[in-house]
Chains A and B, each alone.
Chain A
Amino acid sequence: MLQLLWTVPALPAAGFVVLALLNRRLSRRAAALIGAGFVGLSAVVAMLIAVSFIASPPPGHAYHQVLWTWFDTGGLRPQIAFYLDAMSVIFILVITVVGFLIHLYSTEFMERDEGFTRFFMYMNLFVASMLVLVLADNLLLLYLGWEGVGLCSYLLIAFWQKDVKNVYAGRKAFIITRVGDTALIVGLFLLFTQLHTLEIQPLMAGAAKNWATGSGVAVAAAALLLGGAVGKSAQLPLQTWLPDAMAGPTPVSALIHAATMVTAGVYLIARTNVLFTLAPDVRLAVAIIGTVTLLYACFSALAQHDIKRVLAYSTMSQIGYMFLALGVAGWSAAIFHFMTHAFFKALLFLAAGVVIEALGGEHDIFKMGGLRRKLPVAFWAFIIGAASLSALPLITDGFYSKDLIIETSLGAVDGNAWLWLGALAGSLLTSIYAFRLVFVVFFGDQQTPVTLRPRWRMQLPLVVLSVLSVVGGLVWLPGWMGGFHPLETFLDTALPVTQTVASSFAYTGVSALLTSLVAVVGVALATVWLVESRAALKDFAARPTPHALQEFWLHGWGFDWLYEHVFVIPVKWFARVSRNDLVEPAVSGIAWLNVQAWRALSASQNGLLRVYIGVAGVGLAIIVAFVVLR
């Protein structure tokens, strides 16, 4: 069964090829069947592989499948080869299963769109690239997948390309992640020149053997890889692209910018955890970046009024939690949160998509309202998603994973009270903004009429994801609940075990209590402010200081303005100024010379017979001279 590993990325890739070649000739039905079908098949294979892997694990708890050698030059010999361990199993399951549900949803969501086939083509390419990314056994192949998902992200953000704003958003995403990608490739160069291989397992072993903890080269390599991760996962300072990426269709936001691509950075850091362990300062930086980003994003989410932008900042914030976990060496905890986050974030986005479509394309939450009776499935899905996001105790999967992270942020060897406080504060803010969204969209007076209702292909994924968002956390129960944690045992075969200084029953119990308290308090506050006394809140927000603060958070704390003024404007000025620099005359001089030569030659074609004969005569004189003077 494990030999079928290669079909997991190959099936969506084949789907891409088929859709690309037959683009115009396919009916909607066929395109949908191919697009969603290939991903579905891949999901089935992934599940079978997972079952096989868990039931009878291969030796060393890792399966390595080599397909062929990519190239062999200068000592670099990357292969097209896949490496499957516990972490990869989790990732491919999430990518294919959630991916399939989103594809199914898209067959209805995009049904009236003229770019239907193109959409599935790009989506399939994306799923294939993401799978290559997580299954790659060497960093170069991983980078191939990395670039592939970046490309698809750009293509899909700018999917409705007739509106130039979408294109700008896609371009922005691509350029900002490009900054990170450059750091990543430099990191790859560094690793190769120092350790002479890019295969991940030998690389990690080589680093552990040859590099001292805290040595310059380890710090440099880890920092560069972190740069790449930060770009792709939209953490500070490369986070400005994610809110604008919401210009793409909602399924794209769900799949790429919530469940999968943005978690590529998390995967990268977890995969190369040895490097980060060898560079504790960089790891601390990871944790700090995570914490700061999560707080930044929570405040920003509070002020947004586009439903998808709230969810975008929410994603940024939750990935901050994952980074925080990675930073305190809570590797498995980060992966656990990745899994639960994929479930509830995709759920939230898909439900948001239902609302947007139902209201005829309305994104502004303040033009929504009172939808809980009109769109019941979306309402319940949203409630479950928001509850999971807020980590409401016991009944949601977000609780288990977020609690684990919060507990680790203080309890791990590298834990830190500040990180812990940040995580808790973030959790409070998360539940506030999550339920702000719920109350504004689904309660209150209805502002916009419902014109379209979802049918089974949009409702079924919502139901499935809702169920997963509730029970998904039960694979890793905290100590005080009985210690049923098969997921942890499973992931411990692939990732280092987190060293903790505080993990007693009492500690975890109190931590859970605090997390729950914070979550519930957040919901309560949201209820008070947004359900009971909405008018009072409005008045408060209208006052100068709160209003200024709200504007500030609304625009992402002014990062766009900052980058615009520090980078974009100077570069554009420089480009304009250097239009007539030294090299310019040399280049356009060639063109000018050509034109002059043309003019001269043209002038010689004056149509006069006598002139032509004269020229022939000159030629005759020259030839005769040659003959006579030889």
Chain B
Amino acid sequence: MTTLFYIAAAVAVLATVLVITRSNLVHALLYLVVSLFAVAVVFYTLGAPFVAALEVIVYAGAIMMLFVFAVMLLNVRADSPLRVPPSAWIGPLVLVAVLLAELIYGIGLSNHALHSGEVGPQQVSEALFGPYVLGVELASMLLLAALIGARHIAAQPEAPPFEDPQFSGEEPDARVHEGGEA
């Protein structure tokens, strides 16, 4: 199990690095999918099969699919001309190296073992519908809000409503306008 963990970890790290360095947008997104798969394997090695499955289904599945659809809708050129000059990497790399050093220092490098055995879906569901049920409800409201918000934000100004010849004499107020906000 531990070897599997390290292999999957290495794949995840490598794939993530490739995500941020590819200039081709679609390639980057695909590498991100790979990274998410690798993290799902990591979850499995940690004894959390439920979230491993969730990771694959929701994250790598739904969310990345959203990304791909967005790219498709936006008609973004695959080879985006926005190249980042190498000099732009220096500052962030320095900052990030410092941050990583601090974090590793804080975490420590001991071999503290984790609890062996897995925490399966049964336990997770009991927790979710037990002490965390409020959180579940709030999460669902959050998703509803996001749904409505995304629909409204993304809506383009509509074409003028269809002119029905039969109703040409009516006042404009009677007609229902759908969306069309600027």
Mark A residues whose CB is within 8 Å of B: 614, 617-618, 620-621, 624-625, 627-629
Chain B residues closer than 8 Å to A625, beta-carbon distance: 102
Question: Which B residues are in CB contact (< 8 Å) with A629?
Answer: 102, 105
Q: Which of B91, B99, B105 contacts A621 (CB 8 A)?
A: B99
With A614-B91, A614-B92 in contact, do A628 and B98 touch (Cβ < 8 Å)? Answer: no
User: Contact at B99–A617, with CB atoms within 8 Å?
Assistant: yes
Classify the secondary structure of A's interface with B.
helix
B99–A624 touching, CB < 8 Å: yes
Q: Which residue in A614, A617, A618, A624 is a CB contact (below 8 Å) of B103? A: A624
Q: Output the least CB separation between A517 and chain B (Å).
A: 104
Looking at chain B, what size class is its interface with the partner chain? 10 to 19
What residues on B are CB-neighbors of A620 within 8 Å? 99
Residue of B nearest to A615 (CB): B95
Q: Is B102 touching A617 in the complex (CB atoms < 8 A)?
A: no
Determine whether B106 belongs to the interface, using a CB cutoff of 8 Å to chain A.
yes
Other than A620-B99, A621-B95, give 11 A-B pairs with Cβ distance below 8 A. Answer: A614-B95, A617-B96, A618-B95, A621-B98, A621-B99, A621-B102, A624-B99, A624-B102, A624-B103, A624-B106, A627-B106
- How far apart are A298's CB and chain B's nearest CB, in angstroms? 89
State the CA gap A627–B106 with chains docked (Å). Answer: 8
Per the 8 Å Cβ criterion, residues 97-118 of B in contact with A are 98-99, 102-103, 105-106
CB distance from B91 to the nearest CB of A (A): 7
| A627 and B92 alpha carbons, distance in the complex (Å) | 22
Can you list 7 A-B pairs, Cβ within 8 angstroms, ordered by A?
Answer: A617-B92, A617-B95, A624-B99, A624-B102, A624-B103, A627-B106, A629-B102
Closest to B99 in A: A621
Closest to A627 in B: B106
Listed in ascending order, the chain B residues whose CB lies under 8 Å from chain A are 91-92, 95-96, 98-99, 102-103, 105-106
- Secondary structure at the B interface, as helix, strand, loop or mixed, is helix
Whole-angstrom CA separation of A628 from B99 in the bound complex: 11
Among residues of A, the one whose C-beta sits closest to the C-beta of B98 is A621
Number of A-B contacts (CB under 8 A): 25
Best-surrounded residue of A624, A627, A629 (most CB of chain B within 10 A): A624
Q: Is the CB of A628 within 8 A of B105?
A: yes
Task: Report Cα–Cα, A617/B103, bound state, in Å.
Answer: 13
Q: In the complex the two chains form, is A628's CB within 8 Å of B106's CB?
A: yes
Quick check: A628 and B102 within 8 Å, CB to CB? Answer: yes
- Once the chains are docked, how many angstroms separate the CA of A624 from the CA of B96? 12
Output the least CB separation between B108 and chain A (Å). Answer: 10
Complex Cα distance, B107 from A628, in Å, reads: 9
Q: Report the nearest B residue to A617, measured CB to CB.
A: B95
B-side contacts of A614, CB under 8 Å: 91-92, 95
Q: Which residue of A lies closest to B88 (CB)?
A: A610
* Alpha-carbon distance A629/B91, docked complex (angstroms): 23
Tell me the complex Cα distance, A274–B105, Å. Answer: 93
Closest 3 CB pairs of A and B: A628-B106, A624-B102, A621-B99
A625 to B100, CA, bound (A): 11
Chain A residues positioned under 8 Å from B103 (CB to CB): 624, 628
Please report the C-alpha to C-alpha distance between residue A618 and residue B96 in the assembled complex, in whole angstroms. Answer: 9
Complex CA gap A69/B105 in Å reads 76
Q: Which residues of B contact A621 (CB under 8 A)?
A: 95, 98-99, 102
Kindly provide the distance from the CB of B87 to the nearest chain A CB, expressed in whole angstroms.
14
What CA separation (Å) do A438 and B76 show in the bound complex? 103
Q: Which residue of the partner chain B has the closest CB to A624?
A: B102
In the complex, the chain B residue whose C-beta lies closest to that of A618 is: B95
Measured between alpha carbons, how far is A627 from B99 in the docked complex, in Å? Answer: 12
- Alpha-carbon gap, A614 to B98, bound state (A): 13
- The residues of B that contact A624 with a CB separation of less than 8 Å are 99, 102-103, 106
Residues of A within 8 Å of B102, CB to CB, are 621, 624-625, 628-629
Q: Which residues does chain B contribute within 8 Å of A618, judged by CB atoms?
A: 95
B84 to chain A, nearest CB (A): 10
Could you say which residues of chain B place their CB within 8 Å of the CB of A627? 106
The interface residues of chain A lying within 8 Å CB-to-CB of B95 are 614, 617-618, 621
Smallest Cβ distance from A244 to chain B, in angstroms? Answer: 70
Q: Which residue in chain A gives the minimum CB-CB distance to B103?
A: A624
Query: Roughly how many angstroms separate A350 CA and B102 CA in the complex, as a whole number?
Result: 94
| Distance, CA A625 to CA B105, complexed state (A) | 10
Task: Give B176 Cβ to nearest chain A Cβ, in Å.
Answer: 39
User: From residue B85, how far is it (CB to closest CB) to chain A in Å?
Assistant: 13
A611 CB to closest chain B CB (Å) equals 10
Taking the nearest CB of chain B, how far is it from the CB of A629, in angstroms? 8
CA distance A618 to B95 in the complex (A): 7
How far is A628 from B102 in the complex, measured between Cα atoms in Å? 7
Output the least CB separation between A18 and chain B (Å). Answer: 62
Q: How far is the CB of A341 from chain B (nearest CB, A)?
A: 86
Docked pose: A617 CA to B92 CA in angstroms:
9
Q: How far is the CB of A15 from chain B (nearest CB, A)?
A: 66
In angstroms, Cα B23 to Cα A321, docked, is 104
Nearest CB in chain A: distance from B94 CB, A: 10
A617–B91 Cα gap in the complex (Å)? Answer: 11
In the complex the two chains form, what is the Cα distance from A422 to B151 in whole Å? 107
Task: Looking at the assembled complex, report how far the CB atom of B45 sits from the nearest CB atom of chain A, in whole angstroms.
Answer: 27
**In the complex, what's the smallest C-beta–C-beta distance from A566 to chain B, in angstroms?**
68
Q: Which residue of B lies closest to A626 (CB)?
A: B102
* A contact residues around B105 at 8 Å (CB): 628-629
CB closest residue in chain A, given B106 = A628
* B89 shortest CB reach to chain A, Å: 12
Alpha-carbon separation in the docked complex, A625 to B91 (Å):
18
Question: What residues on A are CB-neighbors of B98 within 8 Å?
Answer: 621
Contacts of A628 in B (CB 8 A): 102-103, 105-106
> Nearest B residue to A628 by beta-carbon distance?
B106
Cα–Cα, bound, A617→B96 (Å): 8
Q: How far is the CA of A629 from the CA of B98 in the complex (A)?
A: 13
For the complex, give the distance between the alpha carbons of A625 and B95 in Å: 12
The chain B residue sitting closest to A611, CB to CB, is: B91
Instruction: Give the CA-CA distance A625 to B104 in the complex, in Å.
Output: 11
Complex Cα–Cα for A629 and B102 (A): 9
B98 nearest CB across to chain A (Å):
5
For A617, list chain B residues within 8 Å (CB): 92, 95-96, 99
The residue of chain A having its C-beta at the shortest distance from the C-beta of B95 within the complex is A617
Shortest Cβ distance from A630 into chain B, in angstroms? Answer: 10
Closest CB-CB distance, B42 to chain A, in whole Å?
24
